Amino acid sequence: MIVSQYLGVFTLERKRQSIINSIQEVATISEETASGAEEVDTVIAVLLGKESDIRIFPASSDKDNSDKRALPALGYELYENGQACAAVQYYGGGLWGTNKNIVWIRNDLDNRKKLFLAAAVTSLLQHQMDNTLP
């Protein structure tokens, strides 16, 4: 009984560490982006699934240099098959940086996918907090 409980915890810890490692992985790919333009985007992680992969891109309100604030809003966008499926804003931009930690998940996804995306976004937020706090 104790061995099976230990193996279960060990397996969960390995899966958790695997997710954290894949989120922290950095790669550069060239592909058609959501806007339809052919360009090179920096993917900070690829979440591998049985049916499809989810790519995580950095996001900014100043992507096309139209944001007049000195400090733009920052976050991540998650794409599956070229469609946005989730997004997170960890910094609201501007001097005060309000509107932090805002999460959006597409409504028409099944519950398992929403739970998976919620876990991924939570991990991204935690990673961001760990790297910004003194």
Percent of the chain with pLDDT over 70: 66
The string of DSSP letters for 41-54 reads: EEESEEEE-SS-EE
Domain total for the chain?
A: 1
E-state strands within 44-91: 45-48, 53-60, 74-80, 83-91
* Residue 57 near residue 43, CB atoms below 8 Å: yes
The C-alpha atoms of residue 24 and residue 61 are separated, in whole angstroms, by 22
Question: Of 2-16, 50-64, 72-86, where does mean pLDDT reach its minimum?
Answer: 2-16
DSSP 63: T
pLDDT for residue 68 is more than 60: yes
Predicted TM-score (pTM) of this structure: 0.65
Q: Cα(first)–Cα(last) distance of the chain, in Å? A: 42
Residue 82: domain span: 2-132
pLDDT tens column, 21-43: 544 443 333 333 344 433 446 88
CA distances (Å), origin 114, targets 45, 97, 103: 18, 27, 12
Confidence band, pLDDT 50/70/90 cuts, at residue 55? very high
**Mean pLDDT over the full length of the chain:** 74
Query: Is residue 94 helix, strand or coil?
Result: coil
